[in-house]
């Protein structure tokens, strides 16, 4: 199966909102209450919120479309450092694919796009946040060279959950200015 990775814009907000909710439900609904999932999905993936993020130059969205032009996965990048400032690192804020696309290497295509954009921004590192219980995702990130560098909490609905911060150094900051 082949996918094209395309940059998304506010015209994609409705499709992305639907895909975001669907992929998040597929990944996490069995581990959370219906109430917490409903609260989280209705706020985090609201169309208005996505349109605001599309209009913010600190965020970029890329979609993976199949041969019929249907979104099967997406990537959200934040061109911000860990403190919310523009810097020399990029946050891989989201990378989700539909369960039906598992095993197609779509995750690898999206991860490569994140690395390509990091190189274009001359970023020294990429970081991401992942739920500590998501062993499959953690293994995937480790295969790409990410290491656990910290922890933080994440509020899903009313449930405070523990996450790992994972970082991949792309270049040495001390030698990058030569």
> How big, in percent rounded to 5, are the helix, strand and coil portions of the chain?
40, 30, 30
For residue 72, give both structure tokens. Answer: 């099967």
Catalytic member of 74, 96, 127, 141: 141
Structure confidence by residue, pLDDT tens digits, 40-61: 999 888 889 989 999 998 899 9
% of the chain surpassing 90 pLDDT? 76
Rounded-to-integer distance, Cα 173 and Cα 88, Å: 9
Structure confidence by residue, pLDDT tens digits, 145-173: 999 999 999 999 999 999 999 999 997 65
What pLDDT, on the 0 to 100 scale, is given for residue 79? Answer: 86
Residue 101 DSSP symbol: G
CB atoms inside a 10 Å sphere around CB 111: 20
Do the Cβ atoms of 5 and 74 come closer than 8 Å? no
What pLDDT, on the 0 to 100 scale, is given for residue 1? Answer: 73
Which are the contacts of 18, defined by CB distance < 8 A and separation ≥ 6? none
Do the Cβ atoms of 100 and 72 come closer than 8 Å? yes
What pLDDT, on the 0 to 100 scale, is given for residue 80? Answer: 65
Rounded-to-integer distance, Cα 172 and Cα 88, Å: 11
Asked whether the whole model's pTM tops 0.85, one would answer yes
Q: What is the DSSP string of 76-111?
A: EEE---TTSS--SEEEEEEEEE-GGGTTTTHHHHHH
- Residue 141: active-site member: yes
For residue 93, give both structure tokens. Answer: 């804020």
Rounded-to-integer distance, Cα 76 and Cα 49, Å: 13
125-131/71-78 β-pairing: unpaired
Rounded-to-integer distance, Cα 150 and Cα 78, Å: 19
**Mean pLDDT taken over the chain:** 90
Rounded-to-integer distance, Cα 33 and Cα 56, Å: 32
State the distance between the two ends of the chain, measured CA to CA, in whole angstroms: 42
Q: Over 50: is that where the pLDDT of 178 sits?
A: no
Tally of helices (H runs) and strands (E runs) in the chain: 5, 7
Confidence of residue 27 (pLDDT cuts 50, 70, 90): very high
């Amino acid at each position: 199966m082949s996918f094209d990775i395309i940059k998304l814009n506010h015209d994609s907000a409705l499709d992305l909102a639907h895909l975001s909710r669907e992929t998040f439900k597929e990944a996490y609904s069995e581990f959370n209450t219906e109430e917490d999932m409903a609260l989280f999905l209705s706020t985090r993936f609201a169309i208005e919120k996505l349109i605001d993020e599309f209009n913010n130059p600190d965020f970029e969205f890329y979609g993976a479309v199949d041969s019929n032009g249907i979104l099967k996965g997406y990537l959200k990048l934040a061109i911000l450092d860990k403190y919310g400032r523009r810097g020399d690192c990029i946050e891989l804020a989201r990378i989700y694919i539909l369960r039906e696309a598992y095993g197609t290497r779509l995750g690898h295509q999206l991860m490569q796009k994140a690395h390509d954009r990091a190189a274009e921004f001359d970023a020294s590192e990429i970081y991401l946040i992942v739920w500590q219980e998501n062993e499959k995702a953690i293994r995937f990130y480790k295969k790409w060279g990410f290491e656990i560098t910290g922890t933080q909490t994440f509020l899903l609905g009313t449930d405070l959950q523990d996450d790992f911060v994972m970082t991949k150094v792309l270049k040495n900051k001390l030698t990058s200015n030569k």
